[in-house]
Chains A and B, each alone.
Chain A
Amino acid sequence: MFFNVILYLLAAAALCISFRRDRQKTKKALAIAWNSFRNLIPSMLGIIGLIGLMLALVPREVIAGFFGNNSPAGILLISLAGAVTLMPAFIAFPLAASLLQSGASVMAVACFITTLLMVGIITAPMEVNFFGKKFTFWRNAIGFVLALVIGGVMGVILQ
Chain B
Amino acid sequence: MKAQLRRYALFALVVVADLLLYLQHPARGEQAIRSALDYLVEMLLFIPPIFVLVGLLDVWVPRQIVEKNVGPDSGVRGVVISILVATAAAGPLYAGFPVADALLRKGCRLANAVIFLGTWATIKIPMLMMEVKFVGLPFALLRLALTLPAIIATGYLMEMILKVGETGRFAQGAGEKNY
Q: Which residues of A contact B (CB under 8 A)?
A: 3-4, 6-8, 10-12, 14-15, 18, 25-26, 28-37, 39-40, 42-53, 55-57, 86, 88-90, 93-94, 96-97, 100, 106, 109-110, 113-114, 117-118, 120, 123, 125-127, 129-132, 134-135, 138-139, 142-143, 146-147, 149-150, 153-154, 157-158
The yes or no answer to B76 lying at the interface (CB within 8 A) is no
Report B150 CB to chain A, min CB distance, Å. 4
On whether the beta carbons of B46 and A135 are closer than 8 Å, the reply is no
On whether the beta carbons of A158 and B90 are closer than 8 Å, the reply is no
A96 to B133, CA, bound (A): 11
- For B9, what are the chain A residues with a Cβ–Cβ distance below 8 Å? 46
On whether the beta carbons of B94 and A89 are closer than 8 Å, the reply is no
Q: Is the interface of A mostly helix, strand, loop or mixed?
A: helix
On whether the beta carbons of A126 and B94 are closer than 8 Å, the reply is yes
Please list 25 pairs of residues, one from A and one from B, whose beta carbons are closer than 8 Å in the complex, sorted by A's number. Answer: A7-B91, A11-B49, A31-B55, A40-B98, A48-B40, A52-B18, A52-B37, A56-B29, A57-B28, A89-B127, A109-B135, A110-B139, A114-B122, A117-B122, A120-B121, A127-B94, A131-B101, A131-B174, A134-B161, A135-B170, A139-B117, A142-B157, A143-B118, A146-B154, A150-B146
A28 to B178, CA, bound (A): 17
- For B154, what are the chain A residues with a Cβ–Cβ distance below 8 Å? 139, 142-143, 146
